[in-house]
Structure 1
């Protein structure tokens, strides 16, 4: 190679290396294939088998699985018929319509929380089923976790269970009606114990809370979906986040606004291909699943999974 070309190539290489030091490496969105129709996905990799499972809103709780995390197939739903107790708390619930499940592994058992409700109402309930083997497909109904009605301050939907830095368990839940709440979870019953505390509100809509502790940053992160869901290409959902040094908050956005006062830093507002991203589920601290409405498929809700990264200031991001 002539000397001049070698110098140019060397300069280009140096420039590329410099850019890599000042521009964060983009987190990758996985190339998913197969059946990826979901709404409000809950994602987990099963111990032992390595199978990737996605539980989502739909009849009986919809189930997808993948052996490699990329190509998904649909399995049988969790419920084939209504548990008897559903009608006691949500008498007008439509058929087997189940919302926003959450999957949590603890002490050898998988805990699948879910919500039943009627759209636009606070007549709602959170239920629980358990199994020792997702692949085995045998789930045990653990009944009611909590409920709400039109006199309640909160709406008992969108459950998410997490473990704090000391090993204690907590559940965040709620939607629109006075926002997002948190309550302690009893390790024996895996159901709430004590009071519920409001930790986030937002005019125009807030729901789908997901609480994550990042040991590397020392913060608790409250991921939420803000805006309007469930309207296909007209949806205005966005994924937003705030953080706190305490599991009970207060959670602040990047501008220092308390999430109880409407604070929320948007990290995903969608794009021309994917409208209204939300219903997110953070797995550990390095993977985030959510749904978005496909412009190419006339607003069909699709599963998106991305690697989740953390910037130098301890805030999450992905592309």
Structure 2
């Protein structure tokens, strides 16, 4: 995400005290009530094979939260005790962003990004764990990188398997959302793999980022965050979605407008106290899809908190939140 470093994200959000006028909203649902440790940014959530849930996020050395029931959340420290040395190639504090958690081939896979504010000198890394719990991760280094000569930004990873192949969506600002194929054995980008273009905005700064790709029925759905995050109650983040019959696109919204031309159906926007909804991911548990995201709480000094809503699918195949 084109943002300040993770610790600064949380600090800036908490310090943002500008007033917001709350209002009732009949279009966008509130997140489900949760308790305990609610502070989070860019959440990725998964139900563990051992039972219970874990959420990883921007902040700390990939901040961790755990829950037995998806309602009460506890602070579980960080994914790593110390930043891997190579992270310092991309920022001075070894600060990672926007993780993505998945399970395949008997292991948990944690993808994440390291970068600095306002640059696409960035990298996506990967770690694996037998349990998915904090403190059990082994880092395997860089998956994919970008430099200032590239037209994309290698941050905000999101994994999906499609037709027996493994893909990673990524991207923030610059030219928007991209996708590259990974080697399923190593979890890293295939050498020489083409970089596909999935979504962008028509005007600079091309404010679309944080992809999540989900298969439902015969379509692949691309969820992305539009506009500005990381400014507490001044954030304008919102979540939009498009779909395609191919994982690499082209993606269009329900009107047929391509996401490469700024299209996208609005799925969730800020309302009332829930400002700047975005940084989303999708997870499935007990036969139900859920949308996880952060919002800035206008009734708590703009503190970023965890939002969870059920994701439903209409007869026309398009998703909505409940």
TM-score range, shorter chain: 0.7 to 0.9
Q: Distance in 2 between matches of 1:186 and 1:127?
A: 14
Q: Which residue is 1:38 aligned to?
A: 40
Question: 1:157-179, CA deviations, whole angstroms, 9 ceiling, x for partnerless residues?
Answer: 00000111x22211000010101
Listed one character per residue, the Cα deviations across residues 48-103 of structure 1 (whole Å, up to 9, x for unaligned) are x2111100001200000001111001112122322122234x1xx14132110000
- Deviation (angstroms), 1:136: 7.2
The within-5 A match list for 1:28-107 is 29-47=31-49, 49-88=50-89, 90=90, 93-107=91-105
Question: If the length of structure 2 is used for normalisation, what is the TM-score?
Answer: 0.86
| Preserved contact between residue 28 and residue 318 of structure 1 (Cα < 8 Å) | no
- 1:212 and 1:181 mapped to 2: Cα distance? 15
Shift of residue 282, structure 1, vs aligned partner = 0.6
**Deviations 1:97-149 (CA, angstroms, capped at 9, x unpaired):** 21100001001100000001101111111111110112473111111111112
Instruction: Report the alpha carbon displacement of residue 254 of structure 1 after superposing the two structures with TM.
Output: 1.4
Taking the aligned partners of 1:238 and 1:28, their CA distance within structure 2 comes to: 14
Higher relative contact order (CA 8 A, sep 6+): 2
- The residue aligned with 1:20 is none
The one of 191, 208, 211 aligned to 1:209? 211
Gaps of 5+ in 2: 1-27
What residue is the counterpart of 1:294 in the other structure?
Answer: 297
Larger radius of gyration, structure 1 or 2? 1
Matched, 1:305 2:302: no
**1: CA distance, partners of 2:31 / 2:276:** 16
Instruction: Count how many residue pairs are aligned between Structure 1 and Structure 2.
Output: 287
TM-score of the pair, normalised by structure 1: 0.87
Instruction: Determine the C-alpha separation between the residues in 1 that align with 2:174 and 2:166.
Output: 24
* Shift >3 Å, 4+ stretches: 26-29
Alpha-carbon separation, structure 2, partners of 1:135 and 1:283: 17
Distance (whole Å) between structure 2 residues aligned to residue 256 and residue 205 of structure 1: 21
Taking the aligned partners of 2:103 and 2:281, their CA distance within structure 1 comes to 14
5+ residue gaps, structure 1, are 1-25
